[in-house]
A and B are shown apart, each in its own frame.
Chain A
Amino acid sequence: DAKTTQPPSMDCAEGRAANLPCNHSTISGNEYVYWYRQIHSQGPQYIIHGLKNNETNEMASLIITEDRKSSTLILPHATLRDTAVYYCIAGGGNQGGKLIFGQGTELSVKP
C-alpha cells in the first residue's frame, strides 16, 4: 500500500468549507484513495473513495489530481459534528481491500 501524508491538525469555521489535503506520491495504478473519519473512539466511518475521477456524495467531495499523487477531501459546509480525525488511505485494488491507516488529520470545527 502506498504511504500517505496528511497534516496532523486543521481548524475550520462552522459553515465554511473544510479542505483536507493528502499526499500519496507512490500510489500505484490500481490503488484507490479512501477517506474515513473517526469521531472520539467510535469505529471509523467511510466517507468517500475514488480511483482517478473526482467523486461526490452526500457527505463530501473528493478531488484527485491528474497525476494521482495527491487528493483533497472537501466538506462543503462544516458543522461542529464534523470534528473528527480524518484518514486518507491509498490501497485496496488487487490487494482485496487491505488498507493501512496512518495518523490522520484532526479537524476541529469551531463556532
Chain B
Amino acid sequence: DAEITQSPRHKITETGRQVTLACHQTWNHNNMFWYRQDLGHGLRLIHYSYGVQDTNKGEVSDGYSVSRSNTEDLPLTLESAASSQTSVYFCASSDDREPQYFGPGTRLTVT
C-alpha cells in the first residue's frame, strides 16, 4: 500500500548541530509539506513544495530549509538547531485540490 513515512521518529540533538528529518511518500504526489506542532497548539506550516526543484516558505520557515530532488522525498534540515525548535514535526503530501495525508511525526528535542 502507498504510504508516507518519517524518520527518525524520535531525535535528541544538541544546540548548534545540523539535523535532517526525512519524509518519504509512495503516492507519487506532487505536493509535499512540513509542519511543526508545539504543545497545546495547532500545526504551523514550515516549508512546502509543489514539485521537483520547487520549494516555498511557510509561516515559520526561519532556521529551516528543504530541497526537492525527486517526487518521493522532501527532507527538512535545521541548519543550526535551537531549543526553540524542540517540537513535533509532521510531513504531508497531496495532489492538487485533494486532501493532504500526514505521516506519523518526528519528535525532536534540542538540548
Contact = CB atoms under 8 A, between A and B. Distances in A.
Given A93-B97, A96-B50, A96-B96, A101 B105 contact: no
Given A41-B88, A93-B97, A98 B104 contact: no
Nearest to B50: A96
Interface residues of A, number: 21
Interface in A65-110: 87, 92-93, 96-104
Contacts, number: 56
A37 to B, nearest CB: 11
Interface stretch (B11-19, B38-46, B61-69, B72-80): B38-46
B42 A87 contact: yes
B31 interface: yes
Contact of B45 (A44, A46, A100, A104): A100
A97 B98 contact: yes
Nearest to A85: B42
A43 to B, nearest CB: 4
Contacts of B102: 43-46
B105 A104 contact: no
A108 to B, nearest CB: 16
A92 B105 contact: no
Contacts of A44: 43, 90, 92, 102
A97 B97 contact: yes
Given A96-B50, A98-B48, A43 B103 contact: yes
Contact of A104 (B35, B42, B98): B42
Contacts of B103: 43
A43 B99 contact: no
A97 B100 contact: yes
Contacts of B96: 96-97
Contacts of A104: 42
Contacts of A46: 99-102
B97 A92 contact: yes
5 contacts: A32-B97, A42-B104, A42-B105, A92-B97, A96-B50
